[in-house]
Structure 1
Amino acid sequence: MSENLDTKALLRLMAWLSPAFPIGGFAYSGGLERAVQDGLVKDATGLKGWLSSLLRHGSLWNDAVLFSEAWRRFENEAALKETAELGLALAGSAERHTETLSLGKAFVAAAAAWPHPVLDRLPPAVPLPVAVGAVAAAHGVAVASALAAYLHAAVSQSVSAGIRLGVLGQADGVAVLAGMEALIIEITERASRITLDELGGAAVQAEIASLRHETQHSRLFRS
């Protein structure tokens, strides 16, 4: 890419993955709220461990694999449909399914501000990582840059949720983000090179927390 295209790609990533982008990500915690309720996450150290597990073995790992597949096959409508269906099938709870589907559909709607045929190739029911991966590829954003930004945004959202849940303060939240950089880079490098054969997870506590959140009476978040 030329320098101008690099700058354009950066600006689009900043817009698409900004907390201000109108997809409603602030309303979801991915089961973190229940993990806090159950005492599984009590402080900044616990939140960092929780997020590390999701990146290595849980939903964020699967998101990274799905993102990369959608990025590689953004021109193939049938492949995007299959990847989207697989992503939704991997949702371990009703709330997780609602979260990734709602955010994916909202992302596609908002991304229409940057018109591109890829938006018509995406299926109506599309999970967030598939939507962002395909749109990023269509606009010429390198997979490593796009995926790193996606994972950083997901971690940032969880840190923000942790702050709202009273697990940590803003200074500790920034420290958690800084401490996650190396792992985000590691996961980005791995997921950028592999196929759907590497899908799968072992973050059992996170899946249970997501399921238990469905019956939680008092809540701040939808998941």
Structure 2
Amino acid sequence: MLTTTNSDAAARSAEQAALYRLMTWLSPAFPVGAFSYSSGIEWAVEAGDVIDAATLRDWLAAMLGHGSGFCDAVLLAQAHRAASGHDHAALRDIAELACALVPSRERHLEATAQGRAFVEIARAAWPCDPLDGALAACAGLTAYPVVVGVVSAAHRVPLAATLHGFLHAVVSNWISAGSRLIPLGQTDSQRLIAALEPDVIATGARALIASLDDLGSATFRADLAGMRHEAQYTRLFRS
């Protein structure tokens, strides 16, 4: 007969708590203001680069695998590892690099404003002593992927789960922006989430084994979209 020990029960309870927190933090309902940003997709629609579900899927797959999606995933993974190992010097360097790599003013606002809101709400709802030291090492540099990695590490949420949950949340927000701009119906939006599943999994797997030396983007049109959005005449989104 199998018996459940107290340690098994405690481990299972810790896993369930970590999953609960991760689902909450990366839910569209978590108030970081993600719905206000399109990551340049609004300009891509205006310019005619994205006109339907198929072109949006291609645009997002490129952003995931060769642009900000992959870069953010690498930064998250490195921040999670540095915070888990209490390597505050490395964490400071990662936080600085994440802010320096953002290619436009509005994308910088998108990353730092969401990161700041994420930290403030997570600390208020889930106080955690190890988190304070890690955040102090970041010296107020609050790029969203970095602070998601730091907060998750402080609460001992596993890296792989955090990474894939983060990428799912990012893709979902991109699709939500696209659905309002093109526009798309709810069914097409869910089909896009399903179609991008292999891209999310592949990007997460690459990020788990990547180093900071692997950071780099080849999505020049998406970077230009973020810059040109700043001067777009009419717009719904902040980036």
Q: TM-score, normalised by structure 2?
A: 0.90
Is 1:114 matched up with 2:126?
A: yes
Identity %: 48
Is 1:161 matched up with 2:177?
A: yes
4+ residue runs over 4 A deviation: none
The 5 Å alignment of 1:125-140 reads 125-140=141-156
Name which of 210, 220, 224 aligns with 1:204: 220
Is 1:60 matched up with 2:69?
A: yes
Q: State the shift of 1:121 in Å.
A: 2.2
2:134–2:150 CA contact under 8 A, matched in 1: no
Matched residue type, 2:173 = Q
SS of 1:19's equivalent? coil
Q: State the shift of 1:164 in Å.
A: 1.2
1:85–1:126 CA contact under 8 A, matched in 2: no
Q: State the shift of 1:119 in Å.
A: 3.5
How big is the alpha-carbon RMSD for the aligned residues of Structure 1 and Structure 2?
Answer: 1.2
Q: Unaligned regions of 5+ residues in structure 1, if any?
A: none
Is 1:73 matched up with 2:72?
A: no
SS of 2:209's equivalent? coil
Structure (1/2) with the larger helix percentage:
2
What residue number does 1:37 align with?
46
1:9–1:139 CA contact under 8 A, matched in 2: yes
2:70–2:203 CA contact under 8 A, matched in 1: yes
Q: How many residues align?
A: 223
Is 1:188 matched up with 2:199?
A: no
Q: Unaligned regions of 5+ residues in structure 2, if any?
A: 1-7
Q: State the shift of 1:182 in Å.
A: 1.3
Q: TM-score, normalised by structure 1?
A: 0.97
> Which is higher, the Rg of structure 1 or of structure 2?
2
